[in-house]
Chains A and B, each alone.
Chain A
Amino acid sequence: MKGLLIRDLRLAIRAGGGFGLALAFFLIVVILVPFGVGPSQGVLAPIAPGVLWLGALLACLLSLDRIFATDFEDGSLEFLATAPVPLEGVVAVKALAHWVTTGLPLTLAAPLFGVFLNLPAGGFGWLVASLALGTPALSMIGAFGAALTVGLKRGGLLLSLLVLPLYIPTLIFGADTVRRGVDGLDAGTPLILMTGITFGTVALLPFAGAAALRVNLR
């Protein structure tokens, strides 16, 4: 299992675009927003929490289809399925590798991007906290979606359509956490609800993902 994680991280780094791609996409989204809505502080500050979360979510989506597609094409997935490791574990480890290459760098870089959008000072701590606890759910739901669409040619678009609606709860509670933090309200409740969603996905979706893979491998 550790070997699989190390292999996936190594592949992400060697293939290029592992750590950098999602981060660069996030940066561009965040930079485009002031161009679109105008740079005044009064406009940017209220929408900053939502835009930052939306940007993180879309950046996460970019590399989802590669979680299983490359392994499916080169036959590795068949070999993984016959290996003495549970397929559920494979799904979980691949989601973890995806999170380390997208969710984690996004979380670490988010304060810097918050500055670009004039995020008020009170929101920075909550932004990092909500992304750290919420992005694992994005990777896990994404891994499940990728498992569902793995055999399909051009499954990338279908994957986005399947996965984005499932991201809504995390997006609502994540952005709300930051917004409440900015307003000086109690942000703990949405954060706890969002963390609950994350734990729920991590507990259930590896099994759903493995079942989807078994069907798609036939």
Chain B
Amino acid sequence: MEETIIAYRFDRLEETLSQLNKANCAIVAGGTDVMVMHKSRRGVPPKITKPIIFIDHLLELKQVNQNGNDLHIGACCTYSELLRDPLIPMPLKKAIKTIAAPAIRNRGTLGGNICNASPAGDTLPLLYVYNAKLLLRSVNGDRIVPICEFIQGVRRVQREPNEILTEIILPSVLEEGAHVVFEKVGNRNADAIAKVGFAGYIRTKGAVIEDVRFAFGAVGPTMIRSNEIEKKLLGKTIPVTDMDIAKVVAAFDKIIKPIDDQRSTAIYRKTVALNLLRYFLTNSTHIQHI
């Protein structure tokens, strides 16, 4: 006797939230990770033990709007929808273009990439340097959590069972003098899981560095960012001197501890991660000079 699989697909977010409050469910957005994770034999449906709740069709989760300096992105916007949206900043679009291929971009969602919390999640390094904040909603109300606190480890997030990630908020995306870069290294241009991901953010006033942020993906259980190292560069002038670059690279050398796996080796990952950092510091701080 086959077990019956329970699945819900409500028209409204409100109904979805009240169902989540009643029972612990597996939330499925685009499903591009879930379906692979629970893959079974050909012809046999993926085995997901909890009841399922589909959310990717909910219009409330598909809006993008600019609110003052902050950009609010609905968690169930697909990558293709974000690529077409005029409000999405270019560096984020550039990052999205490196994700998967057209067919998956038509299904995969930004919220899904966050909640899946893969160490190699493609959008994560960039969302970390944007200081993204996440809006979580439940029947009890809303709360906002910085992405670096929300993601706690490999596939571990700080989401209560009755909550849904509804919005990704990018604060101050329109700030002047900011330069954002995203790099991904993988085996194939399309559909590859990253060996290394890197995002860099730098904001200058004149030649003075006012803010600088770096995040590395796929080189640890989750994204690596260090406020302490970033601080070393604040107030310095660009171009950054070779000595300062060497100091920053050496500091990250100590805290980046990648692993060997089927996709790459620890030594390769570390070398490439530090090279991307060096390249960013050498080149991006020159661009600002123009």
Partners in one complex: no
Chain B residues at the A interface, C-beta cutoff of 8 Å: none
Which residues of A are interface residues toward B (Cβ below 8 A)?
A: none
